[in-house]
Amino acid sequence: MRISGKIARLARSLSSSQASPDDVWAASLLTPEERAVYLAMDPRDREHAVRVTQRVWRHCPDAPAELLAGALLHDCGKSARRYRVWERVLAGLVPQRYSACLPWEPLQIRAWHPQLGARMLRAAGGRERVAQLVERHHTPGGDAHAAVLHRYDDLE
């Protein structure tokens, strides 16, 4: 992500009242079980997720329904902890490769949110393919749809 993108995202993250995710549109792409997980996300994360999903949809009009749902839910693991701007800013200053080994919960959430999110979705009864895409959105490996999600998330 470019510096200007990071600054814009930081500015948007300062207050949840500035976020206005299109939850009606998002809900139309999710099962009732997935919708509950989506609505538990912070409004700022939902707004980010809707933007990523709209990019995926615009650039890949034939995207399968599970990819759009995965885009909406890709960061749902972050809702394992309350959204605190200062924690996210500090965590963002630590290089990703060190996040997993430092014993500070915000860093652990950042490092493991794909796995946490996939676990949440499976526990809630979401579609298995959607959980897989959430799990792989930072490390797609050979999964072409997870790679699409990773690319548009990174551009956001």
CB of 75 to Fe ion, least distance (A): 4
Residue with smaller CB distance to Fe ion, 127 or 137:
137
Enter the tokens of residue 83. Answer: 């959204």
CB of 64 to Fe ion, least distance (A): 19
CB of 105 to Fe ion, least distance (A): 17
Residue with smaller CB distance to Fe ion, 32 or 139:
139
Tell me which residues touch Fe ion (CB under 5 A): 75, 153
Residues 15-51 as b or e (16 or more Cβ within 10 Å = b): eeeebebebeebeebbbeebbebbeebbbbbbbbbbb
Residue with smaller CB distance to Fe ion, 129 or 138:
138
